[in-house]
Amino acid sequence: MTTLVDVWLVDAREPFDECLNPDERRRRDGLRLADDRRRFASAHSALHRILPGRTWTRGPNGKPHLVGTTLQVNLSHAGEWAAIALTDGRPVGVDLQDLVAGLDYAAMARRFFPPVEADITESGTFAQLWARKEAVVKAAGDRLTRGLLLPVAGDPPPRVTHDGVIYTLADLEAPAGFRAAVALAGPEPFVIRTH
């Protein structure tokens, strides 16, 4: 049976009713900029609207976990957008990257990516590969620095192994100026349904 992954794209500029738990309110209030606080509240409130009444914990690197269920969830936000991925039974990671004007993508690729990907100079390609890497790391509940050397270039995205686990990747449609990807643990294919 093919796994279904539901992905929501959330526009943080839209009005929303805030519904944060105490830990999220503390984390929101710790953000220095008002826009960052608003974006955080919007993304996390959307997560609570999608999965109301659930108990949440966070893993050692901050990945959200639902208590008492096999549902797996992950959240990413960049600029005015957030992405939420939800599936049943397989660890999931999602990442959304915005294209940053003026960033030296070639220097970033040489610094962080494996040699086979180090010649990237185009912003969209760099952001897509970064989103793929971060999606894998988030599915694993790991730290980004441990996943930047994962080779993820290719069309379609390749399966990659991180800490002995195979992850299957897919690129997501994203708003203009953004790139996004989702990763699931395991080599089995999956289907994406966007909201």
Structural domain total, the chain: 1
Tally the C-alpha atoms within 13 A of residue 29's C-alpha that lie toward its C-beta: 7
Q: Which two tokens stand for residue 85?
A: 């991925």
Q: What is the pLDDT of residue 57?
A: 85
Lowest mean pLDDT, pick from 54-68, 119-133, 181-195: 54-68
Local structure of 146: helix, strand or coil? helix
Q: Which two tokens stand for residue 43?
A: 């993304």
Residue 95 sits in a domain whose CATH number is 3.90.470.20
Range(s) of the domain holding residue 18: 3-194
- 135-170 confidence digits (pLDDT tens): 999 999 998 988 999 999 999 999 999 999 999 999
Tally the C-alpha atoms within 13 A of residue 64's C-alpha that lie toward its C-beta: 22
Cα separation, 73 vs 59, in Å, equals 12
Q: What is the pLDDT of residue 129?
A: 96
Q: Is residue 62 pLDDT above 80, yes or no?
A: no
Question: What's the one-letter identity of residue 142?
Answer: D
Decide the pairing of beta strands 3-11 and 81-88: antiparallel
Q: What is the pLDDT of residue 58?
A: 82
Q: What is the pLDDT of residue 163?
A: 94
- 9-23 confidence digits (pLDDT tens): 999 988 888 899 898
- 74-126 confidence digits (pLDDT tens): 999 999 999 999 999 999 999 999 998 888 998 999 999 999 898 887 889 99
DSSP structural state of residue 12: T
